Structure 1
């Protein structure tokens, strides 16, 4: 397979990157040769089993990591009740609680890399023509974590009253499950081996220049800015639609929507779990940019009206509106996984993707729930919809103004 598009001779940095990417790409795409493995008949089945186990282990961490964030969002009203001074305006405590939620994203900016590391790990192990399909599973695992959080939130609220959860400390129990995220990391550390030749090539390049320095180099600075902008819609959209929207239906609407957790669980499972791999496959067939543009355009145009419908107190209308926005987000975010990996050369891919992704998550993902709550109090549910439309427009600009450097394999 070819390397990334050639640059002029006055850019030796990317020239070196492209040369090594081509070597890495051949290893990733074609697999080991006869000189790499003596007995391919014995080695291949074992290698496939190792790939499957490592893929499952790498995405399992995403399930539990996003479960924690979801649980916090679903119990934000109880957390606000316990940790913030009483207020005549219930939304004020929710805003304060969500601001702490946003602060957790800024903490994650300094320590995070789990999701992008697993995405790069999964995608690079397969042929590029399948990157959309396989890349979708990294994000699907994150959605499964949010889905589990939704189920736990629904179950706890169904079994216990608000007073029991808030006053007896029972709301803390779901957070204890977060300890299981360490198990996937331990498995990867002790039982998964990197491809030795790829690892050696990347280490050789890393000795020449640090990945962080290359990521912020003049040649890749535009790509880094585009990635941050492109992730804005996914970051803000996901937490608005599948974490905060439960609070809108339950606490912020003039007429509360019946069974908000059940509605949210159905929408989340259909759009972010069942259909997510299909949208990734569509991008393998029709191209990333086309599928992403369709999804983002649907949100930009119809998010305010859909948010208004959600807040009317009708369960069926709320479900259909959330499903529509969820499917649009699915069409955007699933191809985005492969698009992110294709935006950078292999030796800086994890570092650069993590910087762009986590920056967008800290800004849009962390602050959108509290901003949405404030907008609903000020302008009604359509105010939150306009915020979602703004996220979509920013991401569309980032997608279509991304540097035309070609696609990195």
Structure 2
């Protein structure tokens, strides 16, 4: 595999993080949190949306499948937006695409909060919901890869994992905002009010937050790496995608595999689990949402911890520990919740912490491509893998759980087993590289 550990032509590898680096990481993480809130708020209101946008006589399990199907459509649209934005990001600049992605996210989120329901316009309601969800997917397709490239090209190469983990923590914080919103509305509104108009509030708020994010990103600067490539006229002379598919397929493969780990850690254990516990384990909605908030806070802590540790001992070792921990703890957690909810909070917190592997996944992917095609390489690998794994996972889990109640836990355990093997391979390569004599 072609592995590029340097952040760019002249980025210092050894200098410490400076005030400008901290500002860039902070604003990028905050902006990512607000944008990711827009993307994930849908899943926290999946049960409510399913009731309002599909026929009332539809079986609950089928309604949930179709609702998560619309959720999955957002992932399917990601490669389109991601590849297009990445192409121009490698040609015109990282910051321009960083700004564009938030514009493409804010508008459909706002419109989702204004959509008429099935009771008003019939089957046109889910069709419009699907269209808005796909626009969101196209926007987020450029956001996450662009953000990871943006922050890693601002910091010294030895802080790559911490930079990506900071941004990942910011994205996860967006999930936390969604969870807080869902929990808060669940407590301050009656069920009748929530189904009447309360469900619109988080989408309308999300649209406004999108424009706040756009304003914040005005204060960010183009990356030093891209600026220097422009000055040296070392930008990719041919289509970045052509270069990627011809010369960097091993990097694409390992980045896609790493993304698969991320989808299991986020989509199943964080985004889907509250709804699954409500629908199939009979746990109170408010209780599951509270526990989910705790798990997400621990996920943020896990992201930052994994990133800081990976810069010291290597991505591979941290990946092995995190994948093994997540596979074991989530399996026990999901099994126990069908019998005893007394350990809901501490076990879900532990699941969230080991989910911190999401902080180092983008670092593994970023290091797989040179600067000239880095945005395209990461965006293509990440979004195609997410479209497949993230899009199919909700459908697989929700359709199989009716006959196999432990299917979410088995799925996560299986994917994490692959992650352990991958981590061992990365660790062996890391120490083999360090053992080579200097030339």
TM-score after normalising by structure 1:
0.81
Distance 1:79 1:257 in 2: 15
Change (3 A) 1:255 1:242: closer
What residue in structure 2 maps to residue 24 of structure 1?
Answer: 8
Deviates more, 1:368-377 or 1:196-205: 196-205
Is 1:117–1:350's contact at 8 Å kept on the other side of the alignment?
Answer: yes
Q: C-alpha displacement at 1:108, in angstroms?
A: 2.6
1:239 to 267, 270, 283: 267
- Whether 1:319 and 2:348 are equivalent positions in the alignment is no
From 272, 297, 322, the counterpart of 1:295? 322
**2:332 equivalent among 301, 305, 308:** 305
Distance 1:71 1:138, change over 3 A: same
CA displacement, residues 295-327 of structure 1 (integer Å, 9 cap, x when unaligned): 11233445433311133351x322233223222
CA 299–120 in structure 1, closer or farther in 2 if over 3 Å, else same: same
What secondary structure sits across from 1:27 in the alignment?
coil
Query: 1:60 aligns to what?
Result: 30
Q: Alpha carbons of 1:369 and 1:308: their partners in 2 closer, same or farther (altered >3 Å)? A: same
Query: Following superposition of structure 1 onto structure 2, how do residues 361-400 of structure 1 map, counting pairs within 5 Å?
Result: 361-380=386-405, 382-396=406-420
1:128-277 alignment runs, 5 A limit:
128-166=157-195, 168-179=196-207, 180-188=209-217, 190-194=218-222, 198-201=226-229, 204-217=233-246, 219-254=247-282, 256=284, 259-270=287-298, 272-277=299-304
- Cα distance change of structure 1 residues 213 and 401 upon mapping to structure 2, 3 Å threshold: farther
Q: Distance in 2 between matches of 1:119 and 1:355?
A: 13
Corresponding residue number in structure 1 for 2:125: none
Structure 1 stretches lacking a partner, 5+ long: 6-17, 32-46
TM-score by length of 2: 0.76
Q: CA deviation at 1:145?
A: 0.5
Give the aligned length.
368
Contact 1:292 1:333 in 2 (8 A): no
Q: Which moved more, 1:396-405 or 1:284-293?
A: 396-405
Structure 2: where are the runs of 5+ without partners? 82-140, 435-439
Work out which of the two has the higher radius of gyration on C-alpha atoms and give 1 or 2: 1
Aligned equivalent of 2:379, options 348, 354, 357: 354
| Alpha-carbon shift at residue 107 of structure 1 (Å) | 1.9
102, 116, 120: which one aligns with 2:72: 102
In structure 2, relative to structure 1, the CA distance for the partners of 1:226 and 1:147 (3 Å cut) is: same
CA positional deviation for 1:199: 2.0
Aligned-CA RMSD value:
2.9
